[in-house]
Chains A and B, each alone.
Chain A
Amino acid sequence: MYKVYAGLAWSIAGGVVVQAAAIAFAFGGLLNSVANGGVVDKALLESRQAGGVGELGFVLHALVGGGLIPLLAVVLLVVSFFVRVRGAKLWAAIVLALVGLQATLGFAIVGSPYLGLIHGANALAIVAAAVTAAVRVRRSSRSAAMLDRKQATSDAVTS
């Protein structure tokens, strides 16, 4: 369970990196299309068939941010109940809360663009929280394993 928990937490952190890369790629492609004479307007965006270079970036950002990461965060919280490490549940809950906030901000950006500033900063907070969760569990699992090993050795010696 320690490994699953840590794996999930690292995946969430990695997912955020993918998000940053995808959105940068998407806007690069968009600006490239505009530079080549393309016109981006509401009609084009809503037609969902733009097909430009960066299109894949937007699709990836929506799928990973709107589906994959929230799912991983929920699973992380569920798994945290089977990990006997102090703070595992707390950090999983923090990650899930930040992810929830992030998705909400993402959907609200069109109406209130300034929320984009928080969306970008909050992404880093998710990485930090996810890495903290992963590292804490790994550290305690290591010390627990060491404790077990010591126990086993002393048992062997005494027997």
Chain B
Amino acid sequence: MPSRRDILRYAAVGSAMTIGLGAGALAWSGTLLGEYSVMDMGAGGEHAAHAGHDASASAAGAGVSVTSLTADPDRPADVHVRFVVRQEPIDVPGGRRVDGFTVNGTSPGPEIRATQGDLVEVELVNESVTDGATLHWHGIDVPNAADGVAGITQDAVPVGGRHVYRFVATDAGTYWYHSHQVSHEQVLGGLLGAIVIDPAGTSAPEPATDVDVDVTALLHVYGGEHTLNGRAADERVEAAAGETVRVRVINTDQGTAAVWSAAPFRVVAIDGHDVNASTDVNGQRLLIPAGGRADVAVRVPSDGGAVRLQVGGARGVIIADSSHPEASAPPATQPQDTLDLLSYGSAEPLAFDPTAPDRSFDYVIARRFGVIDGRPGNFWTINGRMFPDVPMFHVREGDVVRMHLRNDSGDVHPMHLHGHHVVVLARDGVAASGSPWWVDSLDVHPGESYDIAFVADNPGIWSDHCHTLPHAVDGLVAHVMYEGVTTPFTINGEAGNRPE
């Protein structure tokens, strides 16, 4: 028989537990996101801006819709492509059959080739991707309406639906396209492809880099298997002795890829921007962040041999003299020393002055336990805040924007800003001294900090997220929002938009 004291004690404990559970359930349900607009994120960005003028100049009031930020609608297309996307198994040549996504029946999808200045028009038709699909033009500074982010610039294209993307290919270089709807599954599953924009007014060989042969090396892991241009095998390129081969390496994976060779190579472009006065790289590896690209020039040996350019850990491009079809090259050991792009090439003046920015933002990445959308976990934080309470970076068209990126977490983050290229000013306080290092995808390693700058010259609402896509699902995504720009699209609504 319990004593009166015991009964009281049990009653107190029972009440405390009920209250605790109730409060817990209430707190948990408070994290459920439901349908939301990115415009409501970020609490006005007051914790993001610490310099410049009124940072809370919000997009409220009569604004310009993202849907009106398009390329000239009356201009006819120079390049027109129709992409039909499907959810179906992929037979990886030399590898296994894996479940995934195809573009016009293949993965990677067809490579788009355009010339600088062309108006590119791509019609996306979703035949069977059940979650819906979009196309994002990774690294191309497209007008906002063509950015392809579900729930921000468009609704995900449902099965049976279509959507047309139009943009002018302003900058020559190596880029790629991929779905930005449930991207952590669809990009992983292969809904992607390469797009190369050749410089205007030149035909190969390109005078600037003296390139004779131009090849694409798209890296992707399908079902745990490394592939190069969709095949689980090395690639062979043959050219005349002494000629230069430009290998356009595209890292479509979720982590950094290393590029190295026993022979010297030159890095002629990063993320679609030419390196000024590139020099030979010897005994060092080049690291390409997830989502990033690097164009590497390799000379065909004159002695009848071959050069092996290792692209990613598993695959290589063998560049050989066409008159010596038997020539090959064994894999070389990966160098421990990494090429530092902060001091690679020769400095040249920038077209804008980053020393007197109109806006300065912090983007500090850390990690802590918490609950996002009812899901407990160890999540990423931005400036100490967890998604969706992350900063909104408000800018005005024409602003010079500086951002201080810092990684206080234990994992590398390939940071990707849509619609803009940013120039690296300094890393860990050491100023950049090489060719202007323009990027759209930048690896920030644990403990590192980067000072970057860009000109806000492309109005819209732009994602600024980690391209290790599961990290974006776990909250590592913020946005740059131009004053006066609004979006009619929402996330988690009827259209089923889930951009990450």
Residue of A nearest to B223 (CB): A49
B367 at the interface (CB under 8 A from A): yes
Inter-chain contacts of B258 with A (CB < 8 A): 41
B256 at the interface (CB under 8 A from A): yes
A49 to B96, CA, bound (A): 13
A-B contact count (CB 8 A): 75
Query: Do B378 and A44 touch (CB < 8 A)?
Result: no
A87 to B366, CA, bound (A): 36
Query: Do A47 and B410 touch (CB < 8 A)?
Result: no
Query: Do A47 and B313 touch (CB < 8 A)?
Result: no
Query: Do A47 and B257 touch (CB < 8 A)?
Result: no
Query: Do A52 and B224 touch (CB < 8 A)?
Result: yes
Q: Return the contact of A41 from the options B314, B411, B446 (Cβ within 8 A).
A: B314
Inter-chain contacts of A144 with B (CB < 8 A): none
Q: Contact string, B419-449, partner A, CB cutoff 8 A, digits 1/0? A: 0000000000000000000000000001100
A59 at the interface (CB under 8 A from B): no
Most chain A CB within 10 A, of B258, B410, B447, is at B410
Query: Do A43 and B188 touch (CB < 8 A)?
Result: no
A51 to B222, CA, bound (A): 11
Query: Do A107 and B367 touch (CB < 8 A)?
Result: yes
A48 at the interface (CB under 8 A from B): yes
A112 at the interface (CB under 8 A from B): yes
Query: Do A47 and B221 touch (CB < 8 A)?
Result: yes
Question: Distance (Å) between the CB of B306 and the closest chain A CB?
Answer: 21
Query: Do B410 and A108 touch (CB < 8 A)?
Result: yes
The A interface, classified by DSSP as helix, strand, loop or mixed, is loop
B312 at the interface (CB under 8 A from A): yes
Q: Contact string, B380-392, partner A, CB cutoff 8 A, digits 1/0? A: 0000000000000
Q: How many residues of A contact B (CB 8 A)?
A: 22
Query: Do B312 and A47 touch (CB < 8 A)?
Result: no
Residue of B nearest to A51 (CB): B224
Q: Return the contact of B410 from the options A40, A46, A50, A107 (Cβ within 8 A).
A: A107
Question: Distance (Å) between the CB of A89 and the closest chain B CB?
Answer: 15
A45 at the interface (CB under 8 A from B): yes
Query: Do A112 and B410 touch (CB < 8 A)?
Result: yes
Question: Distance (Å) between the CB of B12 and the closest chain A CB?
Answer: 11
A110 to B313, CA, bound (A): 19
Question: Are A110 and B446 also in contact (CB < 8 A) when A43-B255, A44-B226 are?
Answer: yes
Q: Contact string, B359-381, partner A, CB cutoff 8 A, digits 1/0? A: 00000000100000000001000
Residue of A nearest to B98 (CB): A49
A66 at the interface (CB under 8 A from B): yes
Inter-chain contacts of A40 with B (CB < 8 A): 313
Question: Are A51 and B312 also in contact (CB < 8 A) when A43-B254, A110-B411 are?
Answer: no
A109 to B224, CA, bound (A): 23
Inter-chain contacts of B250 with A (CB < 8 A): none
Q: Contact string, B448-491, partner A, CB cutoff 8 A, digits 1/0? A: 00000000000000000000101000000000000000000000
Q: Contact string, A22-52, partner B, CB cutoff 8 A, digits 1/0? A: 0000000000000000011111111111111
Question: Among residues 241 to 272 in chain B, which have CB atoms less than 8 Å away from a CB atom of chain A?
Answer: 251, 253-258
Question: Are A43 and B223 also in contact (CB < 8 A) when A107-B410, A111-B409 are?
Answer: no
Inter-chain contacts of A49 with B (CB < 8 A): 188, 221, 223-224
Q: Return the contact of B468 from the options A44, A46, A110, A111 (Cβ within 8 A).
A: A46
B290 at the interface (CB under 8 A from A): yes
Residue of B nearest to A55 (CB): B224
Residue of A nearest to B409 (CB): A111
A49 to B189, CA, bound (A): 10
Question: Among residues 78 to 124 in chain A, which have CB atoms less than 8 Å away from a CB atom of chain B?
Answer: 82, 107-112
Inter-chain contacts of B251 with A (CB < 8 A): 43
Question: Among residues 201 to 253 in chain B, which have CB atoms less than 8 Å away from a CB atom of chain A?
Answer: 219, 221, 223-224, 226, 251, 253
A42 to B471, CA, bound (A): 14
A59 to B319, CA, bound (A): 40
Query: Do B226 and A39 touch (CB < 8 A)?
Result: yes
Query: Do A111 and B470 touch (CB < 8 A)?
Result: no
Q: Return the contact of A111 from the options B188, B224, B410 (Cβ within 8 A).
A: B410
Inter-chain contacts of B254 with A (CB < 8 A): 42-43, 46-47
Most chain B CB within 10 A, of A40, A41, A46, is at A46
Inter-chain contacts of A46 with B (CB < 8 A): 253-255, 290, 468, 470
Question: Distance (Å) between the CB of B43 and the closest chain A CB?
Answer: 27
Question: Are A50 and B224 also in contact (CB < 8 A) when A66-B378, A109-B410, A111-B446 are?
Answer: yes
Q: Return the contact of A43 from the options B221, B409, B447, B470 (Cβ within 8 A).
A: B221
Residue of A nearest to B447 (CB): A111
Q: Return the contact of A110 from the options B253, B290, B312, B410 (Cβ within 8 A).
A: B410
Query: Do A41 and B188 touch (CB < 8 A)?
Result: no
Residue of B nearest to A44 (CB): B221
Question: Distance (Å) between the CB of A77 and the closest chain B CB?
Answer: 14
Inter-chain contacts of B447 with A (CB < 8 A): 111
Query: Do B224 and A44 touch (CB < 8 A)?
Result: yes
Inter-chain contacts of A111 with B (CB < 8 A): 409-411, 446-447
Question: Distance (Å) between the CB of B473 and the closest chain A CB?
Answer: 11
Inter-chain contacts of A39 with B (CB < 8 A): 226, 313-314
Q: Which 8 A-B pairs have the closest CB atoms?
A: A42-B255, A111-B410, A46-B254, A43-B253, A111-B446, A41-B313, A39-B314, A46-B255
Q: Offer 11 A-B interface pairs, CB within 8 angstroms, sorted by A.
A: A39-B313, A41-B255, A41-B312, A43-B219, A43-B256, A46-B290, A47-B188, A47-B224, A47-B253, A82-B13, A109-B410
Other CB < 8 Å A-B pairs besides A41-B255, A45-B255, A111-B410, 11 of them? A41-B312, A42-B412, A43-B256, A43-B290, A46-B255, A46-B468, A51-B224, A107-B410, A110-B411, A110-B446, A112-B446
